[in-house]
Amino acid sequence: MNEIFSTVVVVSAGILTVANLIDRVVQTVKLAKKPTADLERRIADLERKTNEEYARRFDSYDKKIANIEEGTRVTQRAILELLKHSIDGNNTQGLREAEKELNDYLIKK
Give the confidence band of 99 by pLDDT, cuts at 50, 70, 90. confident
> How far is the CA of 109 from the CAs of 2, 68, 90, in angstroms?
98, 11, 31
Give the confidence band of 109 by pLDDT, cuts at 50, 70, 90. low
Residue 97 CA to its chain's centroid (Å): 43
How far is Cα 57 from Cα 89, in angstroms, rounded to an integer? 46
Which segment of 11-25, 40-54, 95-109 scores lowest on mean pLDDT? 95-109
Average pLDDT of the chain, as a whole number: 87
Mind giving me the DSSP string for 15-80? HHHHHHHHHHHHHHHHHHHHHHHHHHHHHHHHHHHHHHHHHHHHHHHHHHHHHHHHHHHHHHHHHH
| pTM value > 0.85 | no
- pLDDT score of 5: 79
**Percent of the chain at pLDDT above 90?**
33
Give the confidence band of 83 by pLDDT, cuts at 50, 70, 90. confident
Domain parsing of the chain, residue ranges: 2-108
Closest-CA residue to 109 (of 77, 76, 68): 68
> How far is the CA of 91 from the CAs of 7, 16, 60, 74, 88, in angstroms?
114, 101, 38, 17, 7
